[in-house]
Amino acid sequence: MQEIKTCFEKEFWRAAFAELKNVRSIVLCALFVALRIAVKSLRIPIVPGTVYVTFDFIVNSLGAMIYGPLLGLLGGAVSDTVGALVFPTGPYFFPYIFVEMTSAFLFGLFFYRAHLSATRVILARFSVSVVCNLLMTPAIMLWQKSLLGEQYAFFSLARVIKNVALLPLESVILVIFLGAISLPLARLGLVASSNSKIKLKATNIAMLAALTVFAAVGVLLYLLYKGKL
């Protein structure tokens, strides 16, 4: 599979649209949707009862890397809807579907037909966290509260901040996972043929350090929100 340097090239979008008619890509998307729904209930506690690491972002990013941002949009819509029915965690509010769709779309913009690097992976996770967790989720949360009242709001500001606080750890997990699997997938013709094992460089360590500071500020805001400072 030929590499495409950026999502700003016409060839990128031609390829992404072609995935919508590719039977293999549609089947793979369905499989990743099922896998993403299955892992929604799996989580590892970092701070018991408060902060958990989940794994659906790994499945989401891997699927988007294979079949692109447009099919990723559809997969995100299905996984959110079916996931809410299979593993309900609160009252269903339709606009949250756009958070799932946007996360898959953004991962597709960064990873589809791309030569992966640690920098690209970290920036992708950061972009998803900022757009989906810091911008979209609070906006939808306020909309939900205004329509249905506080008692029906599933998301909270505290939850948003805690999700952002996990950004450095999740970035490292994603670098390790995609670095391990990108070469086998390239040999199978599922991702760009130029992909090789991703390596963390000094600049990536500095970037992760900056993200750690960003996350620490998020934790501080969370503590202020809870009235513990």
Q: Would you list the domain boundaries of the chain? A: 10-226
Length of the chain measured in residues: 229
CB 124 within 8 A of CB 65: no
Structure letter (DSSP) for residue 55: S
Task: Say which CATH topology domain 10-226 has.
Answer: Arp2/3 complex 21 kDa subunit ARPC3 (1.10.1760)
Query: CA-to-CA distance for 223 and 163, rounded, in angstroms?
Result: 14
- The CA distances from residue 14 to 68, 139, 185, 190, 211, in Å, are 11, 33, 21, 17, 34
Query: CA-to-CA distance for 56 and 103, rounded, in angstroms?
Result: 11
Residue 229 burial (CB < 10 Å; 0-12/13-18/19+)?
A: exposed
- The CA distances from residue 220 to 63, 165, 196, 215, 216, in Å, are 34, 10, 38, 9, 6
pLDDT (0 to 100) of residue 93: 76
Q: What is the CB-side half-sphere exposure of residue 82 using CA atoms within 13 A?
A: 15
Query: CA-to-CA distance for 208 and 220, rounded, in angstroms?
Result: 18
List the alpha helices (DSSP H) in 87-136.
97-111, 118-128
Query: CA-to-CA distance for 29 and 39, rounded, in angstroms?
Result: 15
pLDDT (0 to 100) of residue 187: 85
pLDDT (0 to 100) of residue 153: 47
Residue 40 burial (CB < 10 Å; 0-12/13-18/19+)?
A: buried
Below-70 pLDDT ranges, the chain: 45-51, 87-91, 148-164, 193-197, 215, 218-219, 222-223, 225-229
Query: CA-to-CA distance for 26 and 78, rounded, in angstroms?
Result: 13
Please state the φ and ψ torsions of residue 197, each to the nearest 5 degrees.
Answer: -60, 130
Query: CA-to-CA distance for 209 and 218, rounded, in angstroms?
Result: 14
pLDDT (0 to 100) of residue 211: 77
pLDDT (0 to 100) of residue 96: 85
pLDDT (0 to 100) of residue 154: 47
Q: What is the pLDDT of residues 61-89, one digit of tens each?
A: 999 999 999 999 999 999 888 877 776 66
Query: CA-to-CA distance for 31 and 63, rounded, in angstroms?
Result: 9
Q: Is the entire prediction scored with pTM above 0.95?
A: no
Query: CA-to-CA distance for 207 and 185, rounded, in angstroms?
Result: 27
Structure letter (DSSP) for residue 150: G
- Residue 177 CA to chain centroid, in angstroms? 14
